Amino acid sequence: MPLSAKLKTLVSDERIDKARQQLKTAIDSGLDRHVRLAVTGLSQSGKTVFITALVHQLLHSHDTQALPFFSVANEQRILGVRNAPPMGTANPPFPYAQALQRLEAEPSAWPPSTDRLSEIRLAIRYEPQGRLHRLISETSTFYLDIIDYPGEWLLDLPLLSQSYADWCRQNHQLFAQGIRAELSQTWLAKLKAVDLNAPADLQVIEGLSEQYTALLHLFRDPSNALSLIQPGRFVMPGDLAGSALLQFFPLPHLPDYPAERFQQAPEGSYLRVLEQRFNDYKEQVVYRFYKDHFSRFDRQLVLVDCLKTLNNGRQCFEDMQRAISEILHSFNYGKSGLLRRLFNPRIDKVLFACSKADHVTANQHHNLEKFLGLIIDHARREMRFEGVETHCMALAAFRATEAAEAVVDGQKLSCLKGYRKGSHEPVALFPGEVPIELPTEQDWHEDRFRFIDFAPPRITLRQGKPSSHIRLDQALEYLLGDKFA
């Protein structure tokens, strides 16, 4: 009896298949033909749209003109691409077809905000070298894994390196000023009324954590547009909605947070219960999320919505800057050799992308990239220290506007033409100039920027043309180009 059949009688079929799959994945990873791409970004930064656009372009890349800067596609070395979901994984597939349907519908709409984890794997068959350079034809297959998840969950990752005391201290700083201080007056008052060393009343904890969740929703609302919302699962619970794991909150009102205070609190007191719940949350929710999905990435794309900060002011800018720095701490960076790729892969190339570049005129793209550099400055410096290649780019996954010109006040002005989001009425506007230095207080308040949201374009009209996106091909070339050489 052949070995595999004998093994199958001893161990269940699924396990064999899974083991074989894992072995194949490991070999491919070692041989550099399998890349796990991390598409990172806060909520509403355009991750789902980007993944949809990427998959759409790659699936049509064997005979497209739309990717001139992606050298494999440009040299027509791609033979075919297909969706190749790995067997034996628990992750639901990325809802590509649904997203595309919404974009192609009449009237078109952007895909909804992601509320659960999903995964997609593409198998790309290509010729390793051009036709001029070899006598026999040979093909290779390259696997690309992309994971989509709610951006809110990303902000839980920094919690892994913090204790409850640290987290409370951080929140103390955050709640001390700005919008948070204003909006959290009532909640803080209620919190101050509770004696933390008294035996915990679970009802009170539940009530307070519900109010804290409502507060987080308020911070996140577009009128306040704050980004550092922790814990992320509170605002996007997924399948943990209503669970006791999500019932705790920080204590920003204490004057100081020495470790002894938390250790010496009596058993069953509020302090102890909250700390215990925090640690449970960290272990059961965040650590598992991290271990299953985040520790094995090879390349990373960080999407940042710069226009939101320009529309919303200085507090939003600083908050986003802090949120992004915190998130990027949690990824494994550094050079990735052969063995490391098998056992502990590390991210060796990061692309920082400003999404929605089609909402500004083309001559502002360079300014947009510079402005993005301001936001990620701190994080990028640390990555450079680890020897990771970084690059900034302004891109748009689906181009929703057209370039146009108008003569205003005797001056030629380049502007944008598109359809307004929601109402779908045609609109033309000059959205303002993107600053390359941090704007002063006065600039934030004046009516200097007006970046509006546009409705999605008619995909079928521009399919296969370079005008269906902005710089998606350059992003692909930077992230994956060297794997196809």
Find the helix or strand (DSSP H, E) in which 447 lies.
Answer: none
Q: Which CB, 404 or 459, lies closer to other proteins?
A: 404
Q: Give CA–CA dist 412/418, Å, rounded.
A: 19
Among the listed residues 74, 91, 118, 140, the single contact to other proteins using CB under 8 A: 74
Answer yes or no whether residue 426 interacts with other proteins by CB under 8 A: yes
Which of 31, 202, 406, 438 binds other proteins (CB under 8 A)? It is 406
Selected range binding other proteins among 129-137, 166-174, 219-227, 347-355, rule: CB under 8 A: 129-137
- Which of 219/371 has CB closer to other proteins? 371
Told to check if 445 binds other proteins by CB under 8 A, we report: no
Kindly provide the b/e burial profile for residues 55-79, where b requires at least 16 CB atoms within 10 angstroms of the residue's own CB: bbbbbbbbebebbebbbbbbeebbe
* Contact call for residue 414 and other proteins (CB under 8 A): yes
Among 402, 453, 459, 464, binds other proteins (CB under 8 A): 402
Smaller CB separation from other proteins, 193 or 485: 485
DSSP annotation string for 106-129: SS--PPPPP-S-EEEEEEEEE-SS
> Looking at 10, 132, 136, 193, which residue binds other proteins (CB under 8 A)?
132
Per CB under 8 A, the list member of 93, 428, 445, 463 interacting with other proteins is: 428
Rounded to 5 degrees, φ, ψ at 416 are: -120, 150
Nearer to other proteins, 255 or 426 (CB): 426
What minimum distance in Å lies between the beta carbon of 262 and other proteins? 51
By CB under 8 A, tell whether 410 contacts other proteins: no
| Range 181-185, long-range pairs (CB < 8 A, 24+ positions) | 183/215, 183/218, 183/219, 183/224, 184/215, 184/252
Structure tokens given for 97: 């077809």
Q: Report if residue 373 touches other proteins, rule: CB under 8 A.
A: no
> DSSP per residue over 157-173, as a string?
GGGGG--HHHHHHHHHH
Residue 71 touching other proteins (CB under 8 A): yes
Q: How far is the CB of 299 from other proteins (least distance, A)?
A: 18
- Is 76 among the residues that bind other proteins (CB under 8 A)? no
- The residue among 319 and 477 lying less far from other proteins, judged by its C-beta, is 477
Among 86, 238, 373, 435, binds other proteins (CB under 8 A): 435
Buried b (16+ CB within 10 A) or exposed e, 269-300: bbbbbbbebbeebbeebbeebbeebbebbbbb
Instruction: Return the residues of window 199-228 that contact other proteins according to CB under 8 A.
Output: none
* DSSP letter (8 states) at residue 293: I
Which residue stretch of 119-127, 173-181, 335-343, 447-455 sits at the interface with other proteins (rule: CB under 8 A)? 447-455
Work out which of 432, 453, 459, 464 binds other proteins, going by CB under 8 A: 432
Calculate the alpha carbon distances from 418 to 36, 68, 101, 478 in Å.
35, 24, 20, 29
Fill in the DSSP letter of residue 93.
B
Contact between 463 and other proteins by CB under 8 A: the answer reads no
DSSP symbol at 193? T
- When the beta carbons of 59 and 427 are compared against other proteins, the nearer one is 427
**In contact, 447 and 432? CB cutoff 8 Å:** no
Rounded to a whole number of angstroms, the CA Rg of the chain reads: 25
Shortest spacing between CB 205 and other proteins, in angstroms: 48
363 binds other proteins (CB under 8 A): yes
Q: Rule CB under 8 A: is residue 116 a binding residue for other proteins?
A: no
Among 26, 84, 403, 459, interactor with other proteins by CB under 8 A: 403
CA–CA gap between residue 22 and residue 24 (Å, rounded): 5
Q: Which residues, other chains included, contact 290 with Cβ-Cβ below 8 Å and sequence gap of 6+?
A: 157, 160, 330
Whole-number Å distance between alpha carbons of 332 and 343? 13
Task: Take residue 381 and report the two structure tokens written for it.
Answer: 């410096």
Q: What are the Cα distances from residue 378, in Å, to 324, 348, 371, 374, 381?
A: 10, 18, 13, 9, 5
**Would you say 329 or 366 has its CB closer to other proteins?**
366
Binding segment for other proteins (CB under 8 A), chosen from 9-17, 50-58, 118-126, 361-369, is 361-369
Q: Which two tokens stand for residue 449?
A: 């920027």
Of positions 11, 259, 448, 460, contacts other proteins by CB under 8 A: 448
C-beta closer to other proteins: residue 162 or 367: 367
Please identify, among the stretches 25-33, 94-102, 111-119, 127-135, the one whose residues bind other proteins according to the rule CB under 8 A.
Answer: 127-135
* Residues near other proteins (CB under 8 A): 65, 68-69, 71, 74, 129, 132-134, 357-358, 362-363, 365-366, 399, 402-408, 413-415, 417, 426-433, 435, 447-450, 466-467, 470-471, 474, 481, 485
